[in-house]
A and B are shown apart, each in its own frame.
Chain A
Amino acid sequence: MANWIGGDQKLPQGRLILVSYMVVLGILLLLLGFWKLQIVQSGHFADLAEKNRVRSIPIIAPRGKILDRYGRVLVDNYPSFSILLLRDDPAQIKRDLPQITAGLGITSADLEEQLAEARAEPKFQPLIVKPVASDADLAFVESHRIDLPELELMMVQRRKYPPDDFLAHVIGYVGEVSPEQLAQAGGNRYKPGDIVGKAGLEREYNDILTGTDGMRRMVVNSVGKPVRTLDDTEPIPGKPIQLTIDADMQRVAEQELAGKIGAIIALNPQNGEILAMASHPAFDPNDFSIRISGKEWRALNDDPDKPLLNRAIQAQLAPGSVFKILESVGMLESHVPPPDFHVFCPGYGMFYGQLRHDWDPKGHGEVDLHKAIVHSCDIFFYNVGMRMGIDKISYYASALGLGKLTGIDLPSEEPGLVPSSAWEERVYHHIWYPGSTISLAIGQGPIEVTPIQLVRSVSGIAMGGVFYQPHLLKDLSPVKVVHFPISENTVKQVTDGMYGVVNEEGGTGHEVGYPILAQAKLQDIQFCGKTGTAQTISAKGLLRLSAAERKNYRYNTWFVGFAPKRNPEIAVVVLVQGSALEAGGVAAPIAARFVKAYYQKKLGQPIQELEVKATPQKATVPTPSAKVVSAERN
């Protein structure tokens, strides 16, 4: 018998019992732990399990279409695929990086930068590595389902904008929501990567156009592979918007501006509906609908012709002689000077000790208000301006809608500026020099207006002082109306004058405007208008230039017109920048051709302007940076 089997084999029963108590205690503690997880916190963990199990992939709601006034589609959507990179497994991504970049034709530096940027975002948020997948990309992803499971396809709806920069500024474009917009909107309105309107109507009516994204919930396993679809929440498409734009009229406007720098707006003075609005040069919104590269963006931004600028509502320029219409209204309404006021125009005159020239050195002889408008006589309006004084001019200019927002339903409208003595003192801390009033009298000097302001103002005058809010949404409600009653006599005298500009011998718009309408046998439509040329350099400065330089020198030439004379149904403003010819020579025929096209369409005739398509060419005249005060032209 071995020595370890001793005689005394009493067992430590007490300690054994103590051990069993310890065992019971241990099991109880474990049960308590399970109780805590499974009973107390079970809801929390059930949520986590659900999040594990279910992956939600958004089904992008298509944006609403944009239609013209007759329901023709201007902006549509097309389905496209984006390639997503699922970021659940960084090690795998690192391993597969060369294969992915080679297969999708992207640089690894780009992808790594994107990955670095996305590091702060939750892992389940996939990265869009290729917003628009080509057929080759799709084939690559499909054929590498097994070995590159981190690549996923997402169907998206892309914006399809009209070709040839058509209506670009009005439509605007969409893009990924910016961090600023995200912060501004707050809450859960947007999520990173959402597509929102960034400019133009896309931005103005983003809430209408945007639908509600749907959601596909899929059960995925621990390596993220979808096992089955749980359910779909169908997306709610965005609502379409119908515009007041007439696609035919818009095309006429675009063609007229092809190769030029400028803007055209046509609207109905009786309700403010905009039929056409073009600004050139323009840009291709399709470039924005995907993801514009930094290089393209800089090119657009740095272009001296400012293609991103919607000149129709953002160009703030001196109105030139168009301003004489507003001044005439002020004179007739205030009786300063009296309505029968007339002067003799020798082609020059002294005002506040300064010699001022008329645009026509031959002079206009005896001039009353009607003749002054028709011939755009500077000397007459210098005299009127001198008598009215700065504050009366300023009052009427403001009351008739200059120097303030028109309230058009587009973002980023510029207000322009109408100076006054109070403004001069506030900004420059000195009193208004009466000499400045003389320049202002012919729409020069520190006055800045936008094309949309001019066309609204002239329309309202022709309507007897009823100013409709210009707008692009057909169902806009309410359309704001501003009333500034103008007497019947004033309206008659001013519109008669504007009728004369186009239809009377010697009118500044007659030579180039009248034949266009007469040729189309539309001389009876009573097309009225007013020319304007704002120089950006003084007359003396201009004289110093050589003949060749003078030819290239930049003018802002205007024409604002409407038809018919009473209760006009169409008003149009044309701005052409950089034209060496006078206003009557460039802007007036454009307006006349536009109005001709309008009536041809109205009368059911073929629109001649659309039959011969102009070949667009890029404007080459540079935009001078500063507008130098004044002189008198036309």
Chain B
Amino acid sequence: MAERRHGFELDWWLLTIVMLICLVGLLEIYSSTHGGPLHGMQWKQLIWIGIGFAGMLALSRIDYSGLLDQTPLLYILSIAALAVALVVGSKHFGARRWIEVLGVNLQVSELVKLIIIIVLARYFSEVRTDRLTLADLVKIGVLVGIPASLILLQPDLGTALMLVPVAIVGAFLAGIDWKHAAGVLALGAVVAVVGWHGHFLKPYQKQRLATFLDPEQSPRGAGYQILQSEIAVGSGGFWGKGFGKGSQNQLGFVPVRYSDFILAALAEEQGFFGVLIMLLLYLALLLRLVDNAQKAKDRAGMYLVMGVAAIFAFQVLVNAGMVIGYMPVTGVPLPFMSYGGSSTIFGFLALGLVMNVRTKRFVN
């Protein structure tokens, strides 16, 4: 088995699925932006994919047990980086999310997601019993709560929420008392209510949530995005209007159609048929991740893979749900498809972790 450790043991199925998703993403970004001031975005996205791919290869070769050893340091570094981003980070779209690294603005929180996956994987793997204690839950809450709060302050509700499914899926796999589960659920509800009435949410976040609850309220105001997205999706019909022919997309009615609402653009131009293919690709991606988790050589590996799966699943559910008006607009991109450097690089780095676990599966 030793020779396998030195060769590339990549999950070619997983890579094929991801590359197909990337390809569709590139095509739809082209369709959404060509002939406008944003034309050529697909090439930028291709560069992000290349950088991400390289990052994935690099990460897959580092022994993840070494990463797990460094969790305290990684955790402290990520908290510090979030704090720095809050204080000195450049302001984009009214949010301090970015730190300029080598002339490129990178979203710190994307990297933090990765670190939280590693931190939680280590925590859960150290639980020896088949049931998490209340103390465990509190510790997990604090571990996730601190970075999540800092991200919320940027403010970036979507990314902050993305940390939550990592903890939930981990807790579920580690074993959780149903009473505790109910307690956590109740606590979540309380936090939501307090968060709403307190001053934790920015007005635009409240607006987005209120809009989600009643999109018809003001067609030209906040509900506009959701309504236009629904119109794009609905008017696509079964076969779609054709590549580059979606009026909602081409005339700019769909908001950020190359990024957060790229699925609406796809749904309009490729119809339900295109959406079906896309969602089946994501289903295949997620099931392939679960398969990798099942084959992990240890619990830590499993938690790493499932942490990645939890974030991807959350992104797909929230983003696709948002596009059809089932979820609020929280700025959650669709993995590997939405345009965006940070999120694309995160996606590939996360895949790198998965490959890493896979590489080690026959070790021991």
A32-48, CB under 8 A of B: which get 1 and which 0?
A: 01111111011011101
Alpha-carbon gap, A26 to B234, bound state (A): 20
Contact A49 B235 (CB under 8 A): yes
Interface segment out of the listed B18-26, B78-86, B188-196, B296-304? B296-304
* Chain A interface mostly: helix
**Interface residues contributed by chain B, number (CB under 8 Å):** 58
A216-232, CB under 8 A of B: which get 1 and which 0?
A: 00011111000100000
Q: Report which of A36, A37, A50, A123 forms a contact with B220, defined as CB distance below 8 A.
A: A123
A1-26, CB under 8 A of B: which get 1 and which 0?
A: 01111100101110110011001101
Asked whether any CB of chain B lies closer than 8 Å to the CB of A30, the reply is yes
Asked whether any CB of chain A lies closer than 8 Å to the CB of B231, the reply is yes
On chain A, the residues within 8 Å of B126 by CB distance are 3-4
Asked whether A38 and B236 contact (CB < 8 A) given A16-B173, A23-B313, A219-B251, the answer is yes
On chain A, the residues within 8 Å of B234 by CB distance are 37-38, 41-42, 44-46, 48-49
On chain A, the residues within 8 Å of B300 by CB distance are 4-5
On chain B, the residues within 8 Å of A123 by CB distance are 220
Q: Report which of B247, B267, B283, B306 forms a contact with A19, defined as CB distance below 8 A.
A: B306
On chain A, the residues within 8 Å of B169 by CB distance are 19
Asked whether any CB of chain B lies closer than 8 Å to the CB of A176, the reply is no
Contact A16 B294 (CB under 8 A): yes
Asked whether any CB of chain A lies closer than 8 Å to the CB of B114, the reply is no
A227-239, CB under 8 A of B: which get 1 and which 0?
A: 1000000000000
Instruction: Name the CB-closest residue of B to A34.
Output: B275
Instruction: Name the CB-closest residue of B to A48.
Output: B231
Contact A38 B298 (CB under 8 A): no
Asked whether A49 and B122 contact (CB < 8 A) given A11-B296, A20-B287, A39-B237, the answer is no
B202-234, CB under 8 A of A: which get 1 and which 0?
A: 000000000000000000100000001011111
Asked whether A19 and B172 contact (CB < 8 A) given A9-B298, A46-B234, the answer is yes
Contact B252 A53 (CB under 8 A): no
Contact A34 B290 (CB under 8 A): no
Asked whether A30 and B321 contact (CB < 8 A) given A9-B299, A16-B293, A223-B252, the answer is yes
Chain B residues numbered 117-136 whose CB sits less than 8 Å from any CB in chain A: 122, 125-126, 128
Asked whether any CB of chain A lies closer than 8 Å to the CB of B98, the reply is no
B251-264, CB under 8 A of A: which get 1 and which 0?
A: 11100000000000
Alpha-carbon gap, A42 to B321, bound state (A): 17
Chain A residues numbered 83-139 whose CB sits less than 8 Å from any CB in chain B: 88-89, 123
Contact B233 A53 (CB under 8 A): no
Asked whether A53 and B294 contact (CB < 8 A) given A33-B324, A123-B220, A223-B252, the answer is no
Contact A34 B233 (CB under 8 A): yes
Alpha-carbon gap, A36 to B326, bound state (A): 12
B41-82, CB under 8 A of A: which get 1 and which 0?
A: 000000000000000000000000100110000000000000
Alpha-carbon gap, A242 to B28, bound state (A): 63
Asked whether any CB of chain A lies closer than 8 Å to the CB of B248, the reply is yes
Q: Report which of A12, A16, A19, A33 forms a contact with B326, defined as CB distance below 8 A.
A: A33
On chain A, the residues within 8 Å of B297 by CB distance are 9
Asked whether A221 and B267 contact (CB < 8 A) given A3-B126, A6-B128, the answer is no
Alpha-carbon gap, A36 to B280, bound state (A): 18
On chain B, the residues within 8 Å of A44 by CB distance are 234
On chain A, the residues within 8 Å of B321 by CB distance are 30, 33
Asked whether any CB of chain B lies closer than 8 Å to the CB of A155, the reply is no
Contact A39 B306 (CB under 8 A): no
On chain B, the residues within 8 Å of A41 by CB distance are 234
Contact B279 A30 (CB under 8 A): yes
Contact B324 A49 (CB under 8 A): no
Asked whether A12 and B233 contact (CB < 8 A) given A38-B238, A49-B248, A52-B247, the answer is no
Greatest chain B CB density within 10 A among A39, A48, A219 is at: A48
B240 to chain A, nearest CB (A): 9
Asked whether any CB of chain A lies closer than 8 Å to the CB of B271, the reply is yes
Alpha-carbon gap, A48 to B279, bound state (A): 26
Q: Report which of A6, A35, A45, A220 forms a contact with B251, defined as CB distance below 8 A.
A: A220
Alpha-carbon gap, A24 to B233, bound state (A): 22
Alpha-carbon gap, A432 to B290, bound state (A): 110
Contact A53 B247 (CB under 8 A): yes
Asked whether A49 and B252 contact (CB < 8 A) given A9-B297, A27-B283, the answer is no
Asked whether any CB of chain B lies closer than 8 Å to the CB of A610, the reply is no
Asked whether any CB of chain A lies closer than 8 Å to the CB of B161, the reply is no
Asked whether any CB of chain B lies closer than 8 Å to the CB of A431, the reply is no
Asked whether any CB of chain B lies closer than 8 Å to the CB of A31, the reply is yes
Q: Report which of B69, B268, B320 forms a contact with A2, defined as CB distance below 8 A.
A: B69
Contact B283 A49 (CB under 8 A): no
A321 to chain B, nearest CB (A): 72
Instruction: Name the CB-closest residue of A to B130.
Output: A12
Contact B290 A27 (CB under 8 A): no
Greatest chain A CB density within 10 A among B234, B267, B290 is at: B234
Greatest chain B CB density within 10 A among A15, A16, A38, A88 is at: A38
Contact A88 B220 (CB under 8 A): yes
Alpha-carbon gap, A44 to B290, bound state (A): 39
B351 to chain A, nearest CB (A): 17
On chain A, the residues within 8 Å of B324 by CB distance are 30, 33-34, 36-37
Residue pairs across A and B with Cβ atoms less than 8 A apart, 10 shown, are A5-B300, A16-B293, A19-B290, A30-B317, A37-B233, A48-B234, A49-B247, A50-B235, A52-B231, A52-B251
Given contacts A12-B173, A48-B235, list 20 more A-B pairs with CB under 8 A. Answer: A4-B126, A6-B125, A11-B299, A15-B172, A23-B309, A30-B324, A33-B324, A33-B326, A34-B275, A34-B276, A37-B234, A37-B324, A38-B236, A38-B237, A42-B237, A44-B234, A49-B247, A49-B248, A53-B247, A227-B251
List the 3 closest A-B pairs by CB distance, nearest first. A45-B234, A49-B235, A222-B252
